[in-house]
């Protein structure tokens, strides 16, 4: 009862200050990589559309068999007309977009350092800390007032770690644990990474942490870097984590491996989009200032590689061009042969006709 009253009082007095403290998506862009806030870039409409296009939609992968602990059910069968089939497919496609919703990339949160009040008279009132939580049902968890009374008598806002624990106790989210699971510790995480369980780690991280949690960002960062090192981009393609990974690589200007992989697998259009994405994030790059007037994707990538001095990319592009030329020649040859065969067949049939007539 007492805590409720205190909470009620505190909610009215401090709600404003708290909300001011916890706005993670502030628009001010500072210099320096660590300080810069990625949120406005990530939520930019152009960036979002680029990331979605890079993700690619492979329905076989999106609707893969998921091992999410549910009991399997016997499959259902239906007799459908063309129209009903179309409708069912459309509905599935709409669901696919939900599966591909990207976890946000935002700035790390900072613990509030403001002391609410200091009561020296309360010093030593107890040996334990008192945590006061507003457990009103409808509140946003980011704005829920939670304060801590220290044994020294100071009253302060709870740190983010404390908040996570308390909120999980009062409003438990499914599959989230109060303490950080051991699999996110370095030694276990390394083992998982060696087994290429990227999707599992990232999914669990999404469940366990908030996107502005430093732990979440450390874990995802480690996974993305590992994928970049091992060039296992194809494992994440067509999942919700591909976009954030590309954004992370673009943000840290570490796109060489991804670019090479895209050119090697013949995704020239994707490679061009990736470069445009980097240009959006870093508008002061050489290749942005010296504008490329050609609309061709290959030339555009060449322009980037030339100006940014990426010799590997240039070499790969060269070999890609040669390969394309060889393909073209082969295609033409096949066409010619087919035409020849066709003409020979026509000749034969004509001679047969002549024979019959004779």
Site for other proteins, rule CB under 8 A: 59, 62-66, 70, 72-85, 88-89, 92, 95, 99, 179, 182
Q: Which residue number, 58 or 337, has a Cβ lying nearer to other proteins?
A: 58
3-state secondary structure of 156: strand
Closest CB to other proteins among residues 91, 326: 91
Closest CB 127 distance from other proteins, rounded Å: 11
Minimum distance from residue 71 beta carbon to other proteins (Å): 9
Q: Is 325 helix (H, G, I), strand (E, B) or coil?
A: helix
Q: If we measure between CA atoms, which residue out of 37, 15, 62, 11 comes closest to residue 242?
A: 62
In the β-sheet with 154-157, what is the strand arrangement from edge to edge?
A: 115-118, 154-157, 146-149, 130-133
**Residue 85 vs 329, nearer CB to other proteins:** 85
Identify the residue whose tokens are 């010093």: 123
CB of 87 to other proteins, least distance (A): 10
Which one, 93 or 353, has the nearer CB to other proteins?
93
Task: Report in angstroms how near the CB of residue 193 gets to other proteins at its nearest.
Answer: 21
Of 60 and 121, nearer to other proteins (C-beta) is 60
Q: How many other CB atoms are found less than 10 A from the CB of residue 204?
A: 19
Query: How far is it, in rounded angstroms, from Cα 12 to Cα 14?
Result: 6
Task: Give the shortest CB-81-to-other proteins separation in angstroms.
Answer: 5
Q: Which long-range contacts (CB under 8 A, 24 or more apart) does 110-117 make?
A: 111/159, 111/160, 112/18, 112/21, 112/22, 112/156, 112/157, 112/159, 114/17, 114/21, 114/156, 114/157, 115/154, 115/155, 115/156, 116/14, 116/147, 116/154, 116/155, 116/156, 116/157, 117/154, 117/155
- Nearest-approach distance from CB 150 to other proteins, in angstroms: 19
Q: Between 71 and 295, name the residue whose CB sits nearer to other proteins.
A: 71
Which of 54, 103, 50 has its CA nearest to residue 217? 103
CB of 172 to other proteins, least distance (A): 14
Q: Which is nearer to other proteins, 138 or 179 (CB)?
A: 179
CB burial readout 104-115, b (16+ within 10 A) else e: ebbbbbeebeee
Separation in Å, CA 254 to CA 64, 224, 246, 248: 30, 11, 9, 8
Smallest separation, CB 18 to other proteins (Å): 29
Enter the DSSP assignment of 84: H
CB of 34 or CB of 179, closer to other proteins: 179
């Amino acid at each position: 009862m007492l805590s409720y009253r205190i909470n009620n009082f505190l909610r009215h007095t401090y709600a404003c200050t708290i909300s001011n403290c916890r706005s993670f998506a502030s628009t001010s862009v500072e210099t320096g990589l660590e300080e810069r806030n990625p949120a406005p870039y990530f939520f930019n409409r152009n960036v979002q559309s680029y990331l979605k296009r890079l993700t690619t939609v492979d329905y076989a992968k999106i609707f893969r068999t998921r091992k999410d602990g549910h009991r399997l059910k016997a499959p259902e069968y239906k007799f459908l007309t063309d129209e009903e089939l179309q409708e069912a497919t459309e509905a599935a496609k709409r669901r696919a977009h939900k599966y591909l919703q990207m976890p946000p990339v935002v700035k790390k949160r900072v613990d509030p350092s403001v002391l609410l009040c200091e009561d020296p008279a309360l010093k030593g009132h107890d040996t334990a800390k008192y945590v006061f939580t507003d457990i009103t049902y409808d509140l946003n968890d980011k704005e829920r007032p939670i304060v801590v009374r220290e044994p020294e008598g100071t009253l302060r806002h709870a740190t983010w770690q404390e908040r996570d624990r308390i909120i999980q106790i009062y409003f438990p989210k499914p599959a989230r644990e109060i303490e950080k699971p051991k699999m996110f510790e370095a030694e276990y995480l390394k083992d998982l990474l060696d087994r290429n369980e990227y999707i599992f780690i990232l999914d669990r991280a999404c469940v366990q942490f908030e996107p502005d949690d430093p732990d979440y960002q450390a874990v995802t960062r480690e996974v993305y870097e590992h994928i970049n090192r091992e060039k296992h981009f194809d494992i994440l393609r067509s999942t919700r984590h591909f976009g954030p990974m590309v954004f992370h690589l673009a943000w840290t200007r570490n796109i060489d491996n991804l670019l090479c992989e895209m050119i090697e697998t013949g995704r020239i259009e994707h490679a061009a989009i990736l470069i445009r994405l980097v240009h959006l994030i870093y508008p002061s790059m050489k290749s942005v200032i010296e504008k490329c007037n050609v609309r061709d994707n290959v030339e555009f990538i060449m322009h980037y590689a030339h100006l940014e001095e990426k010799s590997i990319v240039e070499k790969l592009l060269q070999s890609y061009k040669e390969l394309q030329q060889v393909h073209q020649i082969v295609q033409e040859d096949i066409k010619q042969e087919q035409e020849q065969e066709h003409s020979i067949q026509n000749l034969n049939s004509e001679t047969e006709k002549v024979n019959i007539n004779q």
